[in-house]
Each structure stands twice: as C-alpha cells, then as structure tokens.
Structure 1
Amino acid sequence: MRELTVDMFSTLDGFGGGGPQSAPYWGYGGPGLDAWIERQLAVEHVMVMGATTYRTMAEVVQQDDDPSFARMAELPKLVFSKTLTPPLSWPNTTVVSEPIETAVPALKALDDLPMRTIGSATLIRSLFEHDLVDRVRVMVFPTLHGRTGEGPVFAGLPDVTLDLVGTETIDDRLVLLDYRVGERL
C-alpha cells in the first residue's frame, strides 16, 4: 500500500509564504537544502498536487533551468483538479477529477510507490480532513513573519496527534521534522 507524505515548508511561526523575505526559501537556500531536495527527487515516488500548484510549477519548469526540473519531469505526477483537462504541458502528469476521498484510497491501494505532496495548501487540508495523510514533514525556516506572513500552513487542519519519527538539521539553519500521523482528537 502506498504511503502519502505531506511536505510543508514553514516559517517558525507557521507561515508558508509572503513576508519581508519573499526570495525562494525565504532566502535560506543553500547546498544542504539543495542536496536534501535532490535526495527526495532521487527516490521513486508520485508527486501529488492541486491545480494551482500545477499551473505554477508547469510554468516555472519551462522557464528556469534548475537541475532538479529534469528529474521532476520524469516522475509521475497526479493533479487533483476539476478545471484542468489533458493534454497537460508537464510530462507524466495525470489529472484526477474524482473526489479525493474516493480517489486517494484507490490510488494508495495500487502498489507500494510512495506519494508526496508538492505545495497545494488546499489539497493538503482536504487530505487531512479525510484522514488520508500517513506522514507529515515540516521544514522549518528560521524566520518569523507574525505581522506580514501569508498562508498559515496549519490553519484549517483537523486536530490530530503526531508521532515524531525523525529530525534533520540542514545547513545549520533549517530543521526538518518528520512525523507519522496518529489519530484525530
């Protein structure tokens, strides 16, 4: 059975975007983060995203020359959308228009190939709401955006217990927290 992992990038106070440091990764990119991303992409998995993230990423990968983009094109991708229609410009992408509460359990039953989210805050909320998330990994960036932060990444998620299964420090600045999702409270 496939495991579904939600990956979230967050400021220390839980924001996913905006603020005074609007550079990629809030200006905290570096060789360690690049290596971590490469390691994640090297593992065979299915990328899972919503339509907004798909539109953004499909445009970015066509315009930029990041070395990770070639690998992302190779990986299978699932886009949950009722508005996108094939053919899509990003190779190896399948549109899933069925409701996630029926589509994801069926997809998880297919094989052992893990699924991982990329971006997609609205999709992540729905996945949590329907108890479909097996793991959540939060990359914490050392910045606070309490007054100017946009997109609180944990807002709207149901109350659940989390069991810590691992931590990793990256570039002596970033902390990855890896949790197995427990039961609803």
Structure 2
Amino acid sequence: MSLRPVHLGLGTNLGDRAANLTAALAALADIVTIGDRSSVWETAPMHVLDQPAFLNMAVAGTTEIAPLDLLTRIKEIEARLGRVASVRYGPRLIDIDILAMGDEMIDSERLTLPHPRLSERRFVLAPLAEIAPSLIVGGHNVSALLADLPAEGDAVRRLGALESLAP
C-alpha cells in the first residue's frame, strides 16, 4: 500500500481538554504517522453557545489506510476515548475530523473530502495554516482561506504547544 497524506483537526471542550488531546494523539499514532502538530487554540463555541470553550489543533501525517476505513478507525478512537453521540455542535470530549487527504475528493453519505466547512472555520484554518500554510484545499491555499475570513475578535486565540498546557 502507498502512503497517503492526511490532515486532521482535533477538538475538545469537556473534562481535562489538554489530556483529551494528548490521548487522541496517542491513539491516532496507531493509524497515522504524525508529522507536524499545530499549537493549541482556544475557541469560543459556535451555534450552541451555552457550553465551555474548545481547545483545537491540527496535525499532518501519513497513513496507508483508505479514507473511509480511516474514518471508521477514527470513530472507534473517539468512542474508546469516551465520546458519545450528542447534540450537533454541542459539547464533546473529543472530536477528530479528517480535513483533507492529499488531492482526494470524496462526496459520500459518510465522508466528504476535503472537509465541507473547512473554509468557513477559523478554529480549523488557524491551526492548519500553522503546519500547512501552502496546502491547497478545494483549489484554495489554506493561508488565503484564513486571510479571507472576517475578523472574529478573540473568538480564536493561540495558547501554545500542547505540552505547555499539561499539568
């Protein structure tokens, strides 16, 4: 099998958020060779506002796993780490999204690549631009997509390396 590039977005807003991200990265290491990791960003919730702030980050890596199989494995990791189905955009222990897999384009019931709302989300683009500023997603450069977003004040702020957040 050949190696496929993959960019993932991680988020959490329940419990020990830094520990949740650390556990997710450790579990992902079984299925993705993780290369670059962004800083951790704190993000105000969207849509459902009455919930804690999120910690978000992005990672770049490679995998031999096909996109739909990777999604299945990621959902298994989320469940193993304690994620339960809840309200859309609601609080979550861990959320792992496949943002892009190279030039792969998929539009299925289970998976859309690149991620369909990536270009609208500063909490995805800011960390992704740190590790892959020239990545082309849907025909657009990640840095340009980030620059084109309207300003959101302090809705998204960089906290630093994950290791600096752990107790």
- Decide: shared fold, TM above 0.5: no
Q: Work out which of the two has the higher radius of gyration on C-alpha atoms and give 1 or 2.
A: 1
TM (normalized to structure 2)? 0.31
Higher share of residues assigned strand: 1
TM (normalized to structure 1)? 0.29
